[in-house]
Amino acid sequence: MKITQGTFSFLPDLTDEQIRAQIDYCLRNGWALNVEFTDDPHPRNTYWEMWGLPMFDLKDAAGVMLEVNACRKAYPNHYVKVNAYDSTKGRETVAISFIVNRPKKEPGFGLVRQEAPGRTIRYTIHSYATDKPEGDRY
């Protein structure tokens, strides 16, 4: 299975050149960028670990690539994503977010059903990877 979070997950994994082009787009828009990684890709896991602070005032993608590569090197088998933040009034949120590294094997999620009255079912999305402790998952 392939987790399809992020802006470009249905495309083949991005090449470094493609990543750089997207980062340059963000910089042209004046957005700050940051790199995040996780081994718990649950769809509601909002807070991936931050690889350093967001980078402000950069002019060129090379600076961000430095961090992308460092993070990928440190966590070759984690999910790594690049986020861009737009601080414009009225938006003030993530403007784009895309995965730049994923584990070799993605076991994905199981759906746990708890039967409740009136044929109602309560659903839990369970990540197989999180059966193991943090750091040993992929």
Partner 1 sequence: MNEKPTDTLDRAQTPASREDTPIDLEAAFRDANVQEVLDKLDRELVGLKPVKARIREVAALLLVDRVRKGFDLTAGTPSLHMSFTGNPGTGKTTVAVRMAEILHRLGYVRKGHLVAVTRDDLVGQYIGHTAPKTKEVLKRAMGGVLFIDEAYYLYRAENERDYGQESIEILLQVMENQRDDLVVILAGYRDRMEKFFQSNPGMASRIAHHIDFPDYSLDELIEIGGLMLARDQYRFSPDAVAVFRDYLVRRMNLPHFANARSVRNALDRCRMRQAVRLFDGVRSNMTVKDLVTVTPADILASRVFKDGTLDMDKPPPRGA
Partner 2 sequence: MAKDKSLTQKERYKSGVIPYAKMGYWEPNCVPKDTDIIALFRVTPQEGVDPIEASAAVAGESSTATWTVVWTDRLTACDVYRAKCYRVDPVPNAPGQYFAYITYDLDLFEEGSIANLTASIIGNVFGFKAVKALRLEDMRIPIAYLKTFQGPATGVVVERERMDKFGRPLLGATTKPKLGLSSRNYGRVVYEALKGGLDFTKDDENINSQPFMRWRDRFLYCMEGVNRAAASTGEVKGHYLNVTAGTMEEMYERAAFAKELGSIIIMIDLVVGYTAIQSMAKWARANDMILHLHRAGNSTYSRQKNHGMNFRVICKWMRMAGVDHIHAGTVVGKLEGDPNMIAGFYKTLLSDKLPANLEQGLFFEQDWASMRKCMPVASGGIHAGQMHQLLHYLGEDVVLQFGGGTIGHPQGIQAGATANRVALETMIMARNEGRDYLREGPEILEKAARWCGPLRQALEIWKDISFNYESTDTADFVATPTPVA
Interface with partner 1 (CB under 8 A): 17-18, 21, 52, 55, 57-64, 66-67
DSSP 36: E
Residue entry with tokens 């966590």? 75
Q: CB of residue 107 vs partner 1: minimum separation in angstroms?
A: 33
Q: CB of residue 78 vs partner 1: minimum separation in angstroms?
A: 21
User: 52 with 94: CB under 8 angstroms?
Assistant: no
DSSP 29: T
DSSP 58: -
Looking at the Cβ atoms of 73 and 123, the one nearer to partner 2 is: 123
Name the CA radius of gyration of the chain, rounded: 17
The amino acid sitting at 101 is: N
Given candidates 32, 68, 95, 100, which one binds partner 2 under the rule CB under 8 A?
Answer: 95
Question: Does residue 75 belong to the site contacting partner 2 (CB under 8 A)?
Answer: no
Q: CB of residue 98 vs partner 1: minimum separation in angstroms?
A: 16
Distance of CA 113 to the CA centre of its chain: 27
* Binding region for partner 2 (CB under 8 A): 1, 3-5, 7-12, 18, 21-22, 25, 41-44, 46, 83-84, 89-98, 108-111, 119-123, 125
